[in-house]
A and B are shown apart, each in its own frame.
Chain A
Amino acid sequence: SQQGEEDPQALSIQEGENATMNCSYKTSINNLQWYRQNSGRGLVHLILIRSNEREKHSGRLRVTLDTSKKSSSLLITASRAADTASYFCATAGRSNDYKLSFGAGTTVTVRA
Chain B
Amino acid sequence: GAGVSQSPSNKVTEKGKDVELRCDPISGHTALYWYRQRLGQGLEFLIYFQGNSAPDKSGLPSDRFSAERTGESVSTLTIQRTQQEDSAVYLCASSLAGRVEGWNTIYFGEGSWLTVV
Please say whether chains A and B are actual partners in one complex. Answer: yes
- Taking Cβ atoms with an 8 Å cutoff, the residues of A that contact B are 2, 4, 30-31, 33, 35, 40-45, 48, 50, 88, 90, 92, 96-105
Residues of B within 8 A of A90 (CB): 43
Knowing A98-B56, A99-B56, say if A41 contacts B45 (CB, 8 Å): no
Question: CB distance A42 to B45 under 8 Å?
Answer: no
Residues of B within 8 A of A101 (CB): 45
Question: CB distance A48 to B43 under 8 Å?
Answer: no
Contact of A43 among B56, B91, B99, B100 (CB under 8 A): B91
- Taking Cβ atoms with an 8 Å cutoff, the residues of B that contact A are 4, 31, 33, 35, 37, 39-45, 48, 50, 56, 89, 91, 93, 98-102, 105-111
Give the 3 A-B CB pairs with smallest separation, nearest first. A102-B42, A98-B98, A92-B100
Give the shortest distance, in Å, between A6 (CB) and chain B (any CB). Answer: 8
Question: CB distance A97 to B99 under 8 Å?
Answer: yes
Question: CB distance A43 to B102 under 8 Å?
Answer: no
Give the shortest distance, in Å, between B69 (CB) and chain A (any CB). Answer: 14
Question: CB distance B102 to A41 under 8 Å?
Answer: no
- 16 A-B pairs, CB-CB below 8 angstroms? A4-B42, A33-B100, A40-B37, A42-B91, A42-B108, A43-B91, A45-B105, A45-B106, A50-B102, A98-B33, A98-B98, A98-B99, A99-B45, A100-B106, A102-B43, A104-B40
A101 to B33, CA, bound (A): 12
